[in-house]
Amino acid sequence: MNLAALNAIAEKMVAPGRGILAADESSGTIKKRFDAINVESTEENRRDYREMLFRSEGMKYVSGVILYDETIWQNAADGTPLVKLIQDADSIPGIKVDEGVQPLSHFPGETITVGLDRLAERLSKYFDQGARFAKWRAVIDIADGVPNFGAIKANAHALARYAALCQAAGIVPIVEPEILMDGAHDIETCDGVTRLVLKTVFDELYDARVPLEGMVLKPNMVICGKGCGKGAHVDDVAIRTIAALKATVPSAVPGIAYLSGGQADELATAHLDAMNRIGGFPWKMTFSYGRALQAAPQKAWAGKKENVPAAQKAFTHRAKMNALASLGQWEGAHEKAA
């Protein structure tokens, strides 16, 4: 393993002023997004949509793109590999390698992320295709009687095994333990679960001998559930998230790239900005957003060729807003100015 090379990739992924575009929706998820804008989810439409994003000016704010398996092998309409479009924007191609979740036996309502079998083989093919980082998402739900420690530990163990395999293949692992926003839980509950999950994940990474300098953490923010009422104040989310991470995430980790998890676009930007304004932590903090970057361009595009410029503009705007937030320089007025 070449740790210096892994570290250089990780540092580039989280360099202030840029962040990660999560465009790795599985076939089922992208179909849901396309259904919402009345676009049929064909291979060609998925390609056209993602090509539009990768050719937009907003890519200058994007340090890396997480791709789904189908996309990493696709060519643009003119025959250029989509991976090359990303590289030409000085951005790093990445790949989602987990194979989704399955029910975890003996833990009703809890899941385990699968895909470790033959992962080494798949990673080597993805490396040859240009991928330099990967993503694996563990899903933790907060509900009556869940999560349980056994399920957290099983998911953390899988994340650590995945991370070790990635590093051996020259690929930087994004370690993503996502605590869902579903439900009506309060921010204190999310705070406690986030701390327990992160502590367990870093224990497992240590046991798996994963050098933290060669990874990126993709956590949720400490936030109340979608159904919790009026929601928490932006500064409360920022202060609690920083505190929870300081208590559980070693400083050897180069950077944190948050998921948006269903937060409204501007709120996801405001939270990231507030954290970077507070500062005082040892990691770079940026975004690795899916929905919070893509909801606006999807709506503007609606599957129509004539809408491509407007959709690219919408994407560029959100990418720029989040890039400013990664520097702690975003202001509400920037949204209105656009």
CB burial of residue 96 (10 Å; 0-12, 13-18, 19+): buried
Q: Which stretch binds ligand 13P (CB under 6 A): 46-54, 108-116, 200-208, 259-267?
A: 259-267
Q: Tell the smallest beta-carbon distance from residue 220 to ligand 13P (Å).
A: 8
Q: Which stretch binds ligand 13P (CB under 6 A): 26-34, 204-212, 286-294, 316-324?
A: 286-294
Question: Running DSSP on this structure, what letter comes out for residue 219?
Answer: P
Rule CB under 6 A: say whether 159 interacts with ligand 13P: no
Give the per-residue contact string, 290-309, with ligand 13P (x = CB under 6 A; - = no).
xxx-----------------
Rule CB under 6 A: say whether 165 interacts with ligand 13P: no
Rule CB under 6 A: say whether 137 interacts with ligand 13P: yes
Q: Of all helices (H) and strands (E), which one includes residue 312?
A: helix 308-326
CB burial of residue 19 (10 Å; 0-12, 13-18, 19+): buried
Rule CB under 6 A: say whether 259 interacts with ligand 13P: yes
List 289's β-bridge partners, or say none. Answer: 21
Q: Of all helices (H) and strands (E), which one includes residue 300?
A: helix 291-301
Rule CB under 6 A: say whether 54 interacts with ligand 13P: no
End-to-end distance of the chain based on CA atoms, in angstroms?
45
Residues labelled as active-site residues: 176, 218
Number of neighbours of residue 77 by Cβ within 10 angstroms: 9
* Residue nearest ligand 13P, Cβ-based: 290
Q: Of all helices (H) and strands (E), which one includes residue 175?
A: strand 172-179
Angle between the N-to-C axes of helices 27-36 and 291-301, in degrees from 0 to 180, rounded to the nearest 10 = 50
Q: Which residue has the tokens 């224990």?
A: 203
Q: Tell the smallest beta-carbon distance from residue 78 to ligand 13P (Å).
A: 28
Q: Tell the smallest beta-carbon distance from residue 67 to ligand 13P (Å).
A: 11
Rule CB under 6 A: say whether 22 interacts with ligand 13P: yes
Question: Distance (Å, rounded) from C-alpha 271 to C-alpha 246?
Answer: 17
Angle between the N-to-C axes of helices 187-207 and 149-168, in degrees from 0 to 180, rounded to the nearest 10 = 50
Q: Which stretch binds ligand 13P (CB under 6 A): 228-236, 243-251, 258-266, 275-283?
A: 258-266
Among 49, 162, 283, 289, binds ligand 13P (CB under 6 A): 289
Rule CB under 6 A: say whether 13 interacts with ligand 13P: no
Question: Distance (Å, rounded) from C-alpha 113 to C-alpha 118?
Answer: 15
Among 71, 91, 260, 298, binds ligand 13P (CB under 6 A): 260
Kindly tell me which of 92 and 282 has the beta carbon lying closer to ligand 13P: 92
Kindly tell me which of 177 and 254 has the beta carbon lying closer to ligand 13P: 177
Question: Where on the chain is the footprint of ligand 13P (CB under 6 A)?
Answer: 22, 137, 176, 259-261, 289-292
